[in-house]
Amino acid sequence: MLNPKNKNIVLIGFMGVGKGTIARALIQKTKCMGLDTDDIIESMENRKIKDIFETDGEASFRTLEKKTAKWLEKSVKNSVISTGGGFFKVDNLEKIGTVVYLKSSFEGILKRLQEHENAELKLAKRPLLSDMTKAKALFNERAPLYEAKADIILDVENRKIKEIVNDLICVLKLKK
């Protein structure tokens, strides 16, 4: 069985693909609880991701992701965990739960972000999206790595949240 009792569901994928939105919709439909790795880090540090990048640099943020990953593995069960776009690189990812890669093209992700009512805010809070040429290169570098780490690959491009959530409930055999 893909999602045994108490196992977490870990959503991975590129920035802006909709990990948080899909996690929240899944939580509403199931008995799972929800957590987000960026939110955990912001609470732990009492500052925004953007400030952590600006003040301490990316390497320091990655260390906080590793610390979060260890805590999730040890202390969290039965939850949907949405992750930052680079979180998939932590050593213990598969020990945290069933890993689901939410897949879309780079263009599909940009379209989704631009159509959002808070588009400017969505872009501003993500330091690695400030340069689109670099962001596209990062996407190309990561796309095969996300696939390699995933137990399940789910195409989310141009699909309704409701359909994506129903697919996840079905594939993961979650209780409604």
Nearest residue (CB) to ligand S3P, 14 versus 98: 14
Q: CB of residue 1 vs ligand S3P: minimum separation in angstroms?
A: 28
Q: What number of residues does the chain have? A: 176
Q: How many Å from the N-terminal Cα to the C-terminal Cα in the chain?
A: 17
- State which of residues 18, 86, 97, 108 lies at the interface with ligand S3P (CB under 6 A): 86
- Residue 133: helix, strand or coil by DSSP? helix
Burial of 10 (0-12, 13-18, 19+ CB in 10 A): buried
Q: Which of residues 91-120 bind ligand S3P (CB under 6 A)?
A: none
DSSP classification of residue 9: E
Residue 161 C-beta: closest distance to ligand S3P, Å: 16
Please select the residue that binds ligand S3P; options are 11, 34, 69, 85, rule is CB under 6 A: 85
- Structure token pair of residue 40: 């955990």
- The residues binding ligand S3P (CB under 6 A) are 15-16, 38, 49, 84-86, 126-128
